[in-house]
Amino acid sequence: MAQVKSHIYTDRQWIAAGEYDREKHQLTMQIREIYVGQSFVLLTDEFIRSLQRLCGAFASIVELGAGIGWLGHWLSKYGLRLQASIDNKSWSDFPPERYLDLVQNMDAVAYLHLHPEVELFILSWPQEDDLAARIWQGLRPGQHLLYIGEERGGCTANSDFFDLIHGHEVENNASKEMRQSFLSFDDFHDQPHLYQK
Ligand SMILES: C[S@@+](CC[C@H](N)C(=O)[O-])C[C@H]1O[C@@H](n2cnc3c(N)ncnc32)[C@H](O)[C@@H]1O
């Protein structure tokens, strides 16, 4: 991870200094493409530690649209066990054999409706369809959603979702620290945001 980070920083410095090097930048792109075949979120030590602190406030946490399941895997390595990691395995770029055993094959909204006890749902890089909006609509008042994705008009969620979450962001020390610790690949504009319904 330190190596990946160093490539990201180096690229940013090149670009900032106007010294864009096509060959070296290509290498970063290759790393990014290999990485996103496993996880769209850059799972750095700093980010997972910030999640450890933020998630400590919640008794039950579930990841929806979990993909391969690496976020849940790393959180458990850091001592934080998710109640479930849910994915319907519909993303064609993730071959079925790549999913970690912890990922349960189920529709995210169906799970949400069956589990009112969950205090925090995590949703990263939902596609630009209506899933993120339907998840928000399915939440009960008081439940939280940690959304990791791009802003309105970006590559994740649809505009209904951004209308729905408007005014629901939770600002506290833990969410601030989480945002500060977060890194993205170049050309990715994802950010973590904590919302409460
Ligand atoms: C772009 S991928 C992101 C995966 C992962 N969260 C990440 O950040 O790497 C979107 C994921 O949502 C899953 N997905 C799409 N529709 C779903 C649904 N209705 N229920 C559960 N998972 C779904 C796909 O199978 C895919 O793994």
Q: Which domains does the chain have, with CATH numbers?
A: 2-36 (no CATH), 45-196 (3.40.50.150)
Residues in the chain: 197
Q: Would you say residue 13 has pLDDT above 80?
A: no
What is each CA distance from 140 to 165, 167, 175, in whole angstroms? 13, 16, 21
Report the atom number in ligand 1 closest to the C-alpha of 63: 6
111: Cβ below 6 Å to ligand 1? no
Between the CA of 8 and the centroid of ligand 1 the distance, in Å, is: 25
Q: Would you say residue 103 has pLDDT above 60?
A: yes
The model's pTM: 0.91
Give me the helix-helix angle, 70-77 and 45-55, nearest 10°: 80
Ligand 1 atom 3 nearest Cα: 125
Q: What are the start-end ranges of the H helices in 17-61?
A: 22-36, 45-55
The pLDDT value recorded for residue 76 is: 96
d(CA 93, CA 1): 22
Q: Are strands 84-87 and 103-105 parallel, antiparallel or unpaired?
A: parallel
Which among 90, 94, 128, 155 is the best mutation to test ligand 1's pocket, defined by most ligand atoms within 8 Å of the CB? 90
**Using 50, 70 and 90 to split pLDDT, how confident is the model at 194?**
very high
Ligand 1 atom 1 nearest Cα: 125
What is each CA distance from 36 to 2, 27, 53, 67, 122, in whole angstroms? 17, 14, 25, 10, 18
The pLDDT value recorded for residue 23 is: 65
Which among 91, 104, 148 is the best mutation to test ligand 1's pocket, defined by most ligand atoms within 8 Å of the CB? 91
Q: pLDDT tens digits for 21-79?
A: 666 666 677 777 888 899 999 999 999 999 999 999 999 999 999 999 999 999 999 99
Report the atom number in ligand 1 closest to the C-alpha of 110: 20
The pLDDT value recorded for residue 87 is: 98
Q: pLDDT tens digits for 126-162?
A: 999 999 999 999 999 999 999 999 999 999 999 999 9
Mean pLDDT of all residues in the chain? 90
Q: Would you say residue 101 has pLDDT above 90?
A: yes
